[in-house]
Amino acid sequence: MELRLDPELENFRQEIRGFINDVLPPDMRERQRRKVANNADVTDQLRWMRILNEHGRAVPHWPVEFGGCGWTPMQLFIFNEELYAADAPEFDWGGTHMLGPVIYSYGSPYLRERFLPMIREGQTMWAQGFSEPGSGSDLASLRTSAELVGDKYVVNGQKIWTSGAAHADWGFFLVRTDKTVKPQRGISFLIIRMDTPGVTVRQIPQINGEAHLCEVFLDNVEVPADQLIGEPGMGWTYAKFLLEHERTTSSFIYWSKRELARAKDIARGERRNGRPLSADPAIRARFARLEADLLALEWSVLRVLAHEELETPEAAAASVLKIRGSELQQEVTMLQVDLLGLKGARYFDVAPTPPPAPDEAWPDYVPGRTTVALITRAATIYGGTKQVQKNILARLAFGL
Amino acid sequence: MDFAKSDIQTMLLDSAERLLSDMSGVEYWREQRHRPFGFDEARWAQFAELGWLALPVPEEVGGLGGTIEDVALLNIVLGKALATEPYASSVVLAAHILGQADDRAAADEALGGIADGSLRIALAHQEDGADPLALEVGATHARPAGDGFILDGAKLLALDAPGAARLIVSARIEGEEGLGLFLVPVEAEGVALEAYPLIDGTRAADIRLKHVRLPASALLARGPRGAQLLGEAIDRASIALMAQAVGAMEAANRICGTYVQERKQFGAAIGSFQAIQHILADMFVAAHQARSMLYHALANADRPEAERAAALSAARLVIGEAGQLVSRNGIQVHGGYGLTDEYAISHYFRRLLTLEKQYGDLTLHVGRLGDHIFA
């Protein structure tokens, strides 16, 4: 048992930090740091992917033959941590962390050659069409159908909560190709071009003023049959593979650590009765709990990355990451809002320009905190609600 | 980073699982609590035979020179089995202070006694009204006299002192900064113990020291070094106790998982009800995070003082809260039986509550970490 970090990794961290500093354009970083919405940066996201790709680091977690870096899990952890700490744009997770791994694991040579470079080079955003109005937690009941007619699938149905669909040229969808077998067996994984006739996207105005989540209506949409990934009827298996593959992503540990650092800035900057909030023992206690809980989450991530031998299935440890990761995202964003007091209730649709001077009443850290906290209520809902995760845990850890 | 156990660690755990599975559980525990010191001295001798007592003792004086990770892994198993032996105080804490003591002859002799099981030593540091994490003392003081010292004062809640032959007593040395640490035989003239049980069946004592004459060799460390050494030793004992808490939580979870499948109400096992399932899921999450924080404390055990203390408090915080969540819900899913002495969960509750209070309770560690964050 060796729990201290390999000192070599510190050199790696310095190399990555220097690299990001060299290639991340200052204007892009500034826009990221000052954005008031969660997902309003499609252009920067794709530009950033292209920059990373020029250096062979757009998809470091992929196998080397498809453009990965061959790094260890710990190196990947550090890479992601440094990206977030530097306020780099988010990855398009749908493409890089969901569709890409399914294609290189199960896709035909045609799909690999056509789509993997497209994802790696940041040519487009990808819409993820899983949930339906009647199929949320019970995803296997989905009804959007794809019927094989000649060399095309004809798709009919409706998807919802399809993030980024309005900005995406392409999407990947779970569709029902066989209604005669048990629900999980009849689902397939299909790539659809979003400008195909019959595809209609409607943005959903959200609690925080954004409209990133969408409804997608599919009305006799004709899709070339070779855009079905792997075998028909295996879509559910591939979707489960994704969850296996991306066990630690759902922890959002890098994101929450950065937001905790931001909360500390707010606590030092905001004053009441002439004293910074950070001097208040009640505030300090709240920070102590959150910091300790995030450390626990971080070590739980490291345990999964290092494949610690456990008495319970590894999937149980993954559900712990999802539950705690989502709860802590909510706690850290609500702490930020609470520290701002009534200032936190002011609505900002854009960050003021030019940025205020540091001693002004509305410091630069105010805009965006509440809009992000509002949409972060989604964290315990998407990707398997907290309650579904607890059902899974009861089964895996206790056999209930 | 590697979570795989070394060969020595695997052997250690195998021997621990073997011995403790024969002698554990509530029946065993119930017999032990009426013994004078709350544990079986014959089993303590077996701990010695298996090398457990020599584990943290340096190799030069007959110990095994084990790492803090080795100690933690063993203590997880002790915690699972609700062991009431004074391992954290008499072995982990005492060996660390003695291993660094100024007077080698006296210290090496005592270390040999710890390793072979013939000597148990308890710490007497806490005083009434004092901050348990402060490395200074108010009332207890030592006056240089001749070649040695005269010790006066009073200590509270000296853990495991009733079963110990010697005490490590912290005292202010007159005219000096820092802290003196003295090795004091319990039978020395002027030492009086008032022993009592804690709710988990372990023992503690209040101690009065009245004109206790000590030779110069009794002084283990003094000045800033004395305070530093005590801080390190308490942190190490704290890690051992956190490991016991993790083991206790994992065992409690297993017990509850079995119970809810056996207990039937409304014609079904109560474990089939989602309300119960979600309580158990919460308990699993808590115990899992607790183990993660034990690893965090271990990874930082040799860091400079401020970082070590912050890591330790963060771990105490998560483990303390997790222990409460697990044991409170553990009683809840047992219903009325959870409140009986017969069912193991009530013993785990008492043990986890006692562990949370030792060497600074939850509130203190929350405060210490909060101050560190904005220092």
Torsions phi, psi for B6 (to 5 deg): -70, 170
Nearest CB to A296 within list B257, B272, B293: B293
Average pLDDT score over chain B: 95
Does domain B226-373 fall under CATH 1.20.140.10? My reply is yes
Q: Whole-angstrom Cα distance, residue B194 to residue B240?
A: 26
| Whole-number pLDDT of residue A351 | 82
Structure tokens at A269: 């900057």
Q: Which of B368, B370, B329 is nearest to B352 (CA)?
A: B329
Question: Which is more confidently placed, A353 or B375?
Answer: B375
Structure tokens at A34: 């000052």
The model's pLDDT over A156-169, given as tens digits with 9 standing for 90+, comes to 999 999 988 999 99
Structure tokens at A234: 């295996």
The model's pLDDT over B190-208, given as tens digits with 9 standing for 90+, comes to 999 999 999 999 999 999 9
What does pTM read for this prediction?
Answer: 0.96
> Could you tell me if A218 and A159 are in contact, meaning their C-beta atoms sit under 8 angstroms apart?
yes
| CA quadruple B262, B263, B267, B268: dihedral sign | negative
Measured between beta carbons, the chain B residues lying within 8 angstroms of A324 are 285, 289
Q: Of the residues A215, A246, A291, A314, which is catalytic?
A: A246
Does the beta-carbon distance from B295 to A400 stay under 8 Å? no
Structure tokens at A202: 């409607």
Mean pLDDT by 10 residues, chain A (400 residues): 89 98 96 80 92 97 96 94 95 91 96 97 94 95 97 98 93 97 96 98 94 96 98 94 78 96 97 96 98 98 92 92 97 98 92 80 93 95 94 96
| Whole-number pLDDT of residue A352 | 81
Residue A397: CB atoms within 10 A of its CB come to 27
Q: At which residue do the structure tokens 């207890």 appear?
A: B140
Structure tokens at A369: 């905190």
Going from the N-terminus, what domains does chain A have, and what CATH number goes with each? 7-91 (no CATH), 126-234 (2.40.110.10), 247-398 (1.20.140.10)
Structure tokens at A138: 């019970």
Q: Whole-angstrom Cα distance, residue A232 to residue A176?
A: 9
Please give the DSSP secondary-structure letter assigned to residue A399.
Answer: -
- Across the range B85-95, mean pLDDT stands at 98
Measured between beta carbons, the chain B residues lying within 8 angstroms of A308 are 3
Q: Is B183 helix (H, G, I), strand (E, B) or coil?
A: strand
| Whole-number pLDDT of residue B24 | 67
| Whole-number pLDDT of residue A39 | 63
Q: Whole-angstrom Cα distance, residue A46 to residue A138?
A: 33
User: Where do the domains of chain B lie?
Assistant: 7-118, 122-222, 226-373
| Whole-number pLDDT of residue B31 | 84
As a CATH number, domain B7-118 is 1.10.540.10
Q: Is B30 left (phi over 0), alpha (psi -120 to 50) or beta?
A: alpha
Structure tokens at B28: 């065993």
Structure tokens at A103: 């294609």
Fold of B122-222: Butyryl-CoA Dehydrogenase, subunit A; domain 2 (2.40.110)
For residue B229, give every residue at least 6 positions away whose Cβ sits within 8 Å of its Cβ, in sequence order, or none.
Answer: B96, B97, B100, B181, B220, B221
Q: Which of B284, B298, B307, B371 to mutate to test the interface with A (most CBs of A within 10 A)?
A: B284
Does the beta-carbon distance from A324 to B289 stay under 8 Å? yes
Total CB pairs under 8 A between chain A and B = 149
Distances (CA, A) of B303 to A22, B237, B360: 32, 16, 20
Q: For residue A389, give how far its alpha carbon lies from the nearest alpha carbon of chain B (Å).
A: 9
Half-sphere exposure of B283 (CA within 13 A, CB side): 28
Element (H, E) at A104: helix A100-106
Does the beta-carbon distance from A287 to B374 stay under 8 Å? yes
Stretch 294-313 of chain A: residues touching chain B, C-beta under 8 Å: 295-300, 302-303, 306-309, 312
> Could you tell me if A70 and A64 are in contact, meaning their C-beta atoms sit under 8 angstroms apart?
yes
| Whole-number pLDDT of residue A316 | 94
Q: Whole-angstrom Cα distance, residue A9 to residue A22?
A: 20
Q: Whole-angstrom Cα distance, residue B3 to residue A398?
A: 23
ipTM of this complex prediction, to 2 decimal places: 0.96
Does the beta-carbon distance from A4 to B299 stay under 8 Å? yes
CA A332 to chain centre: 17
Does the beta-carbon distance from B281 to A291 stay under 8 Å? no
Residue of chain B whose alpha carbon sits nearest to that of A268: B374
Known catalytic residue: A246? yes
